[in-house]
Structure 1
Amino acid sequence: MSPRPKKMRRCEGSFCGRAFKPTGTPLNELTPIALHRDELEALRLCDVEGLTQEEAGLRMGVSRGTVQRIITGARKKTATALTEGQALVFIDSES
């Protein structure tokens, strides 16, 4: 039995460059943490726009549970990058 195909996720926001990193250290000297477009979109919708996970799921075309899973991972990646001085590298694909 093969896994269920991944549902297409609608993302309205855009990246503010290709990475977010600490100042003064070249990107190639930092540990990269991949932040996918759907993870940034979930952060934007829930933490910036203040939508509930249910509302964010409707906007993204996925379930509330999927938004919860996406945002949990995105918050962990973001917190790790900020506290450990690593780089968030924005990935356009969802793979």
Structure 2
Amino acid sequence: MPRPKKIRHCEGRKCGKAFKPARIPLTELTHIPLLQDELETLRLCDLRGLTQEQAGASMGISRGTVQRILTSARSKVAQALVEGAALIIEDSPLLEEELPG
């Protein structure tokens, strides 16, 4: 039985937004889902310059989990840029804002 996933703390709500090449309708593009926790790791590590350990502390997850999420996110962004696909921001499982209160 796998270990339960930790709740992830992410800032902002970008779900449902798309980033795509200009002048091509979204309906004509391949869609690549980018989970909100993947976007958050990109923001913390690549934009803000935090270490994976610092990003993990901010999100409430381990450094190893940050590394795994960051690798996936970078791969998806590279694929979208190289192939001219659309990145669609989607909800991640276990986000802090989604917990029943």
TM-score of the superposed pair, with normalisation by structure 1: 0.92
Contact in 1 for aligned 2:21/2:85 (Cα 8 Å): yes
Q: Report the equivalent of 2:78.
A: 79
Q: Deviations over 1:48-83 (max 9, x none)?
A: 000000000000000000000000000000000011
Percent identity, aligned pairs only, is: 65
1:84-95 → structure 2 map (5 Å cutoff) = 84-94=83-93
Shift of 1:16: 8.3
Partners in 2 of 1:93 and 1:5 — Cα distance?
A: 15
Partners in 1 of 2:16 and 2:92 — Cα distance?
A: 15
Shift of 1:41: 0.2
The answer for unaligned runs of 5 or more in structure 1 is none
RMSD across aligned positions (CA): 1.6
Q: Report the equivalent of 2:8.
A: 9
The answer for unaligned runs of 5 or more in structure 2 is 95-101
Partners in 1 of 2:16 and 2:2 — Cα distance?
A: 33
Regions of 4+ moved over 3 Å: none
Do residues 39 (structure 1) and 34 (structure 2) align? no
Mark the CA change 1:16 to 1:94 in structure 2 (over 3 Å): closer, same or farther. Answer: closer
Count of residue correspondences? 94
